[in-house]
Amino acid sequence: MSRFVTKVAAGTAVFALAAAPGVAGAQGATTVDDKTGPVSYANIAAVEVGPAGQSGGGTVVSETQKSPSRPGSSQLAQDQRKAVPNTDGERESMGSNYSVTFGRFDAAASPYPEGVASKDHAVIATLRDTTVPTASAESNYAFQDFTRGGTPLNQTVLAFQGAKSAVECPSNTAATAATTASKLWIRDDKDALAPVDLPAGGGEISKKGLKLGPAIVEHREHADVPDMAKTTSDVVINPVTKFDQLLRQKEWRSGDTTAVAGWHVRIVTHVVVKPPAPQEGQRTPATGSAQPGTRNGTATTEPGAGQENGETAATPSAQPAVAEEPKKYDVKTDIVLGGVSCSLPNGFSPVAPGSAGGGGVPEKIPAGYTTADAVVAQPESTSGSLPLGIGLLGGGAVLGAAALVVGRRRKAVAEARVTE
């Protein structure tokens, strides 16, 4: 098992949120302040497709569990979510080629290597009776490319067994984060699903030249079809170490002290486009086939044409075949598995066990997604708030542009569509 654990020292995870005056008052005896108090979040999976400047693509964030304002826990239901994407809207956002599956599965159609048992996922955000926030996400994960065809296992490109991310924020100087897993498999050079060592000490592992196509293709109206014999992908896997690496809804906030965990998978697909089929009679660089009015690449004339005073017209020479460079472009896919965080305001002190009471009501942030044509997310009851796509990554300047600039001007939200 690989285990990556960090301890957030004082001042090392400070974000742009001012400490609320009177922290003890913000916590209260039985509740915590929803805007500045201790809080935690847990998410099973989120996917972002398409760097800036490309048409198509978007971001899908599954339901996020939020710690209650009173001591208690929020947990993702087993039957609520088993894959990303999960709806037609989510598939429109990130494409229908890829899928991240988790939780229980039919043993007869397992996407995992032999020996991986079906098991429930566990995605929980908790406020303890001391007002200390914690969060964890534990599951097996299979990342699949449906264009590979065949069985579910043949469609799997990489798989985690026993992946777990966990955070705990007992004080401003003792917040901890851990990202672990039992096993990891990735397709090797021979396209076999092979075990690999997990990254150690917060590092990364990478694989280049995988036989993996893109999540989306450019120009949805006139798709540039990838030449899968020449298209390859590079994959990098590493633990999440910064809040801005999380793919999240805008309500998912940080604090003056914040700990984060999860697995980050980045896929960069180098797409080589199939050349268009030549029109009938058109010369192609590869074959030198004849244009209309030519024979074996040499111009022909009608009998007697160009012949005057007994002279014979010169025959034009054949045009040399010129190799055309195939069109190429890259598609970037970012996946966060088991993204979790916990946060505290400055000056936080836990209360005595049990003194904060209980009865916390489970809370969640609904799933949401962005598409090339619209920004879609929050329920209409959250009127006045920014749509998910605009605040999706909060302060995430690094990934924010990729989520929002997808080659088309997005229209305003006309209707809220939410995965419940």
Could you tell me the pLDDT band of residue 323, with boundaries at 50, 70 and 90?
A: low
Q: Give the β-pairing of 193-196 and 183-187.
A: antiparallel
Range of lowest pLDDT (15-29, 48-62, 131-145, 245-259) = 15-29
pLDDT score at 372? 52
Mean pLDDT, to the nearest integer, of 412-419? Answer: 27
Q: Which residue has the higher pLDDT, 375 or 363?
A: 363
Tokens of 387: 């749509």
Mean pLDDT, to the nearest integer, of 372-401? Answer: 32
Q: Which residue has the higher pLDDT, 357 or 40?
A: 40
Phi and psi angles of residue 267, each rounded to the nearest 5 degrees, phi first? -120, 125
pLDDT of residue 388 exceeding 90, the answer is no
Q: Give the β-pairing of 205-210 and 183-187.
A: unpaired
The residues with which 299 forms a beta bridge, in sequence order, are 294
* 84 Cβ contact partners less than 8 Å away, ≥ 6 residues apart: 44, 45, 46, 47, 60, 62, 90, 94, 99, 100
Q: What percent of the chain has pLDDT over 90?
A: 51
The residues with which 99 forms a beta bridge, in sequence order, are 144
d(CA 252, CA 244): 11
Could you tell me the pLDDT band of residue 22, with boundaries at 50, 70 and 90?
A: very low
d(CA 198, CA 178): 14
Cβ–Cβ < 8 Å for 367, 60: yes
Q: What is the mean pLDDT of the chain?
A: 76
Q: Which residue has the higher pLDDT, 113 or 222?
A: 113
pLDDT of residue 318 exceeding 70, the answer is no
pLDDT score at 280? 59
- The two counts, helices (H) then strands (E), for the chain are 5, 23
pLDDT score at 341? 98
pLDDT score at 322? 55
pLDDT tens digits, residue range 329-340? 888 999 999 999
pLDDT tens digits, residue range 99-119? 999 999 988 899 999 999 999
pLDDT score at 277? 66
Model pTM score: 0.74
Cβ–Cβ < 8 Å for 53, 405: yes
pLDDT score at 228? 85
Distance between start and end Cα atoms, the chain:
34
pLDDT score at 309? 54
d(CA 368, CA 93): 10
Q: Which residue has the higher pLDDT, 72 or 395?
A: 72
